[in-house]
């Protein structure tokens, strides 16, 4: 198992997300949290889907190159939501959150998380995509959710593990944990590949 082979490695999760911290902890591996603030998360024009998510994850990792040591591995991630060829990142206000949920109402959208593993001599970037189908959301449901849960730190303005996921999501295709912000099964496999460990 992976945790048996990491005693001489220092894993750092470079994320402020409590959900990513919780999910990574579920793999039973030791890690620390370290965050460099004020990383530009803008996406170049023409980027879409997995390209955008992987670009942002890699860009976040690049900000940590100066703190890398020989035993350190940085894990960064970025989650985006795509619907009707639009990328929805984090909402800037309640009005923006309401708008995003209105776009998702009654439709299937994609949740894409890009992940980067960075060491002093190695870099791996990958992504995972999950399809999520929302039922038709009334204005009252949207307003209640955004005012009660205020999902300003979540791509697409919702958390699948919160109330809106219970009442509004009809089905998903793919990894549930990916929608929360980290595709932990795929990450486990990639970490094993990164350290050349047989699963």
Look up 62 and say whether it is catalytic.
no
Contact 84, 107 (CB under 8 A): yes
E strand or H helix that includes residue 111: strand 108-119
Contact 80, 128 (CB under 8 A): no
Give the separation between CA 136 and CA 138, rounded to whole angstroms: 7
β-strands 122-134, 72-83 pairing: unpaired
Q: Which of 28, 32, 40, 78 is catalytic?
A: 78
Alpha helices, DSSP H, located in the chain: 18-25, 49-62, 94-104, 139-149, 163-168, 176-180, 184-194
Which residues are designated catalytic? 78
């Amino acid at each position: 198992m992976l945790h048996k082979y990491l005693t001489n490695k220092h894993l750092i999760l470079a994320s402020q997300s409590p959900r990513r911290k919780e999910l990574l902890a579920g793999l039973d591996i030791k890690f620390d949290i370290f965050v460099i603030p004020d990383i530009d998360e803008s996406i170049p024009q023409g980027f879409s889907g997995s390209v955008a998510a992987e670009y942002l994850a890699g860009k976040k990792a690049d900000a940590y190159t100066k703190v890398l040591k020989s035993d350190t591995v940085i894990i960064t991630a970025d989650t985006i939501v795509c619907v009707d060829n639009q990328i929805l990142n984090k909402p800037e206000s309640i009005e923006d959150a309401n708008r995003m949920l209105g776009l998702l109402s009654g439709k299937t959208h994609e949740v894409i998380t890009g992940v980067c593993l960075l060491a002093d001599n190695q870099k791996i970037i990958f992504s995972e995509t999950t399809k999520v189908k929302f039922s038709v959301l009334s204005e009252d449901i949207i307003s209640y959710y955004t005012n009660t849960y205020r999902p300003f730190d979540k791509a697409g303005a919702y958390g699948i593990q919160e109330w809106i996921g219970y009442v509004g999501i009809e089905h998903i295709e793919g990894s549930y944990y990916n929608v929360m912000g980290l595709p932990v099964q795929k990450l486990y496999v990639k970490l094993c590949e990164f350290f050349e460990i047989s699963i």
